[in-house]
Amino acid sequence: MKRALLIFLLVSTLLIVPHAGFARIPFDDIQSHQASADIEAVYEKGIMIGTGGNKFNPDEFVDRAQLAVCLIKTFDLNYDDLKFIKAPVPSDLYDDVEDNIWYSKASMIMGYKNIFNITGRKFKPYEAVTRAEVASAIADSFAAKKLSVITTMMWPNYIDTTNLTQKQQSDISFVFNTSIMRYTGSEFKPDEKITRAELATILNQTLKTLAVATPVDSSNPVTDPPDVNTAAFKDQGDLAFIRQGLLYALDGETGEVKQLTGSGRALQPAWSYDGQWLAFIRVTDQDAGTGPLWLVRRDGSLAHQVQGLPEPVGRQRFFWSPIDNVLAVAIQNGVWLVPANGEPRRLVQSEGTFHLTWSPDGKSLAYNVTLPSDEPQDRSDALYTIDVDGGQPVQRLVVPQAGIQVAAWWPDGKGLLYWLDPLHSASLAADGMGLWSFRLGDAEPKLLSTGLAHKGWQSLSPQGSLLMVTGDWRIVWSRKSLATIDLASGIVQKLKNPEGSVAIDPSFSPDGSRIAFVAAKNLGDQVWGFDNDGELAAWVATRTLWVQNSDGSGAHPLTDAGTGVYQPVWSKDGDHVLYVRDNAIWIIGANGGQPEKVVELLPAREDLFGFYGYTSCRDFMAWRQT
């Protein structure tokens, strides 16, 4: 009996790990096996060896004890980070694992690191493991090591996994997308037992994945892949979105979803003109929403922090050229140009430059400069333009004792729009500023209207019309209406609000013939806040999606879009509208119909109040229409 036990222990030990670095592969039963290269790889790493007699036995099943030891070696797992009152022993966790047996420590590490989904006190060391169990154990091992993998994210199209738990499906998605466990055909066969050869292949693929894995930032929990409705976004261009701090890109043509960052908190993604690059802030100051500027290619490669900028960047401080892969960045000491491939250079040295915009042809930039003054209250701003290819700054106008927030060029490039910030006062600006239009070459600008300088509240048509939210006071739920303005003549046409509502978040259709906007209940001038979250949620629930002609006629709600709607945007063909609702991105036909959820942005936003009712979806999404 003792001899039989000794032989059993010897065979079991041979399944796992002696010393790494074997020079010769001693197996005579793998030469023609399709997994021979993987078997040799894990043998050379000391993760698996043979069963004795020059045999590997590739078709033999793997049990839980063997898998545990292999995972320990593959991931270098331990429980050194845990503190124990006494030395741990298997009996602390299990009734069926002896002390000082070859898998004792591995079983404890699995238990303390929550690698195996074991209920009760039975480890069942000699029970054969299945594909589903191995998939979850590998995903849990990455989580235990706090490692993230940037990879293409697609839900595998297996017909036999739909009845599994959500975690099992997520784990299978992870091993599928990382190519650790990817099977041809329409079945994953989750209950099929794993063979030694199959495990060798899985572990070798795991080693390759570990080579490109990165540590997870402690501020980012390990997340499940986003559940993306790729069919709903078919042929709608490219969508960048941020989910739980991580940046993703959805290719509307292929349906591919790519995770582009593995850690940190991304903010305000922006597509390059050709869709090959994304710029974003990697937030280091949570309150200010600032941090280093980062670039990454759409396939997830060449992710890097932009080096050489003198300070972190903030929201609405960087913009891609409309004709080249070059960013213009506004920093207090001037305007910087940042090519996607290359070093940044300062184009203009100036003071107080916070706002800039590219001309439609990509040849020029407009920006503000705060002029020197001995008294802060007497500061004046100047509006400048400059040709980016070696031109000299041209001062276009000066506004005394006020700031300039450059908004946009006219669509034909013949003029500029800017907000006038009285006395450089953030408080006065928050309650509304005048929007001015300046035709290049004219002596004087023209006041168009008064409103809030929220970026999502102005929309330009190719024909040279501006659609904007007009009205003063910082509260969103009062005094807000829409107007269209012909920039060449300065003629303003005010549009009628739906009864009892304010009109906000406007968007011109691509041909300028229609308008999408949000109508929400007008609460009046006396409401400046809410006593509780329920009151706020009740007002948010009045936000509905409307469509009308650009002259204000034909206004009607798209009731199927639901409530709590934010910042609608037209598709390039004018047939669909993308919008945000219930912390998810949705798409609906421009003439109504059943909306479809594109992706959910978990967790739900905690701050619905924003800035007196205004929140920006530009912080977490960017749509490149092709």
Q: Is residue 226 part of a domain?
A: no
Q: Is residue 345 part of a domain?
A: no
Q: Residue 515: what pLDDT?
A: 98
Count of structural domains within the chain: 2
Regions of the chain short of the pLDDT cut 70 = 1-24, 84-85, 150-155, 216-224, 602-607
Q: What is the pLDDT of residues 347-370, one digit of tens each?
A: 999 988 889 999 999 999 999 999
Last residue within a domain, chosen from 215, 239, 270: 215
Output the CA torsion sign for 115, 117, 123, 125: negative
**Which residues, listed in sequence order, are joined to residue 241 by a DSSP beta bridge?**
248, 621
Q: Is residue 325 part of a domain?
A: no
Q: What is the pLDDT of residues 444-459, one digit of tens each?
A: 999 999 999 998 899 9
Q: Residue 5: what pLDDT?
A: 36
Output the CA torsion sign for 600, 606, 608, 611: negative
Q: Residue 361: what pLDDT?
A: 97
User: Which residue from 456, 449, 448, 486 is spatially nearest to 470, judged by alpha carbons?
Assistant: 449
Q: Is 450 helix (H, G, I), strand (E, B) or coil?
A: strand
Q: What is the pLDDT of residues 538-558, one digit of tens each?
A: 999 999 999 999 999 999 999
Instruction: Extract the runs of DSSP E, i.e. beta strands, from 354-453.
Output: 356-358, 364-370, 381-387, 394-399, 402-409, 415-422, 433-439, 446-451
Last residue within a domain, chosen from 154, 189, 215: 215
CA pair distance 256, 272, nearest whole angstrom: 19
Q: Is residue 403 part of a domain?
A: no
Residue 282 and residue 303 in contact, taking contact as beta carbons nearer than 8 Å:
no
Q: Is residue 413 part of a domain?
A: no
Q: Residue 607: what pLDDT?
A: 65
Residue 406 and residue 435 in contact, taking contact as beta carbons nearer than 8 Å:
no
**Which domain CATH number covers 624?**
2.120.10.30
Q: Is residue 34 part of a domain?
A: yes
H or E, element range at 547: strand 544-549
Q: What is the pTM of this model?
A: 0.68
Q: What is the CA radius of gyration of the chain?
A: 30
Q: Is residue 111 part of a domain?
A: yes
Q: Is residue 228 part of a domain?
A: no
Last residue within a domain, chosen from 156, 184, 215: 215
Helix (H), strand (E), coil (C) string for 200-259:
HHHHHHHHHHHCCCEECCCCCCCCCCCCECCCCCCCCCEEEEEECCEEEEEECCCCCEEE
Residue 386 and residue 393 in contact, taking contact as beta carbons nearer than 8 Å:
yes
Q: The domain containing residue 474 runs over which residues?
A: 455-626
